[in-house]
Amino acid sequence: MNLYCLRAPGGDMRQRQLLITGGAGFIGSHLADALLARGHRVRVLDALVPQVHGEARRRPEYLSPDVELVVGDVRDRDVVRQSLAGVDAVYHFAAAVGVGQSMYEVAHYTAVNNLGTAVLMEALIERPIERLVVASSMSVYGEGLARAPDGRRIPGGQRPLEQLADGKWELEGPGGEPLTPVPTPESKPPALSSVYALSKFDQERLCLILGRAYGIPTVALRFFNVYGPRQALSNPYTGVLAIFGARLLNGSPPLVFEDGLQQRDFVHVRDVANACALALDARGADSHVVNVGSGQSITVKEVALALAEVMGRPGLRPAVTGRYRMGDIRHCFADISLARELLGYAPQVSFHDGLAELSSWLEGQVATDRVAEARAELEARGLTV
C-alpha cells in the first residue's frame, strides 16, 4: 500500500500514544495505518457494530496487528476512561453513519453521535490531552455554495418539496433564476437537512466548544464523499461508491436518485487519512473546521458509469429513479484552500487511479445487496418523493 508521510506546518514527529474512536471502520483503519507508518502507537475503541462488521463482530482482517483494539461503546463511560489511559491525542471517529437511516432511527443516531461525543468530552475534561481531531461531514452544509446569474455567491437553500415532486431537481434563486454550483468553503453557514447532519454538527461543536474551554487544541475535519477499499459493502447506508459496487457485484445496476446529475466531491480514503495525520501537528488549525475533499466535482451518474466500466460490467447502466430521498442535497463539493494552508494537505490519488484500485479490491469481495430493502424502508415511511 502506498502510504505517504508529510509533515504538517510547524509539526513534529514525536512518537505518541494515539486513540481512534471508531477506528476499526473504513476511514479509521486507514488512519491507523498512516499513524503507525509515522512511528506512533495506536489504540482503537470500536463497538464492531453488526451493520458495519457483520453479526460475528470479529476483529477485521484489514486492521493492522500492531493496533491495540478495545471492543466497547463510546457511550460507556468506564470503557472510554480506560481507553484514554496513557493517550496523548484522540481522533474521534465513532459515529452512526447514514443520511437516510438517520431520518427514522432518530434516537439511535442521536445517542451514538451526540451522547457518545458528550461522554468522550466529559472524560477528556477529567483527563486533558494534547490534541483532539474530530471527524465531521460535508452533510452539515446542506446545499453547497452557488452562483447567481449576476455573479453573486449565495448559499443554496432547501429545495421546495413541491418542486421536487414535479421532478424539477436544480437549485433556483428567489425569482426562479438558475443557480450554478461552485466549490463550498468552510465559511458557508450550516444548513442541516437530516438528523445525521444535525448530529455531525453537534459532534464538531461539542468538541470545539469544550476544547477551547478546557485548553484542548481541537480541529474538526469535514469529510466529503470518501471512497476506497475496506468500505462495508453490505451496509446500504455506507458511501455511494460502495453501494454501487455491491450492486454491480450482484449483477444489478446502480440505483441513482433524482436524475443522477447531482455533483459531489469524491476523495480517496488514503488522502483523507493523510489529512488526519497532518492535523495531529498542524497548530495553525486549532479551533478551526477544515474541509477534506479532492477539490473536484463529478456527477453521481458519471461515477456509476465509470465504476461499471472499470469493473467490466458496462452493460449494467445506472437505473435512474426520478425520486427524491428526504435529507439529500443537490450539489456540494469542496473548496480545499484552507486544508492546503493550515494542514499542508494536497490530494495525491486521482479519481481514475482510485477507482481502478477500488475495482480491483471489489472483485475479491462478497457483498449482500440490501439496497432494495433500504429503499423500501424509506418509501414505507414516506421519506421519498
Q: Please report how many Cα atoms fall inside a 13 Å half-sphere around the Cα of residue 366, on the Cβ side.
A: 1
Q: Are strands 263-264 and 153-155 parallel, antiparallel or unpaired?
A: unpaired
CB count within 10 Å of CB 285 equals 25
Residues sharing a CB contact under 8 Å with residue 367, sequence separation 6 or more, in sequence order: 233, 234, 245, 246, 249, 250
β-bridge mates for residue 90, sequence order: 19, 132
Q: Are strands 145-147 and 153-155 parallel, antiparallel or unpaired?
A: antiparallel
Nearest to 206 by CA among 308, 292, 135, 155: 135
* DSSP-based three-state secondary structure for 290: strand
* DSSP-based three-state secondary structure for 197: helix
CB count within 10 Å of CB 306 equals 19
Is 196 one of the annotated active-site residues of the chain?
yes
Q: Are strands 145-147 and 180-181 parallel, antiparallel or unpaired?
A: antiparallel
Identified catalytic residue from 109, 196, 324, 345:
196
Cell of 215: 485548553
Distance of CA 85 to the CA centre of its chain: 28
Nearest to 92 by CA among 26, 35, 19: 19
Residues with a catalytic annotation lie at: 196
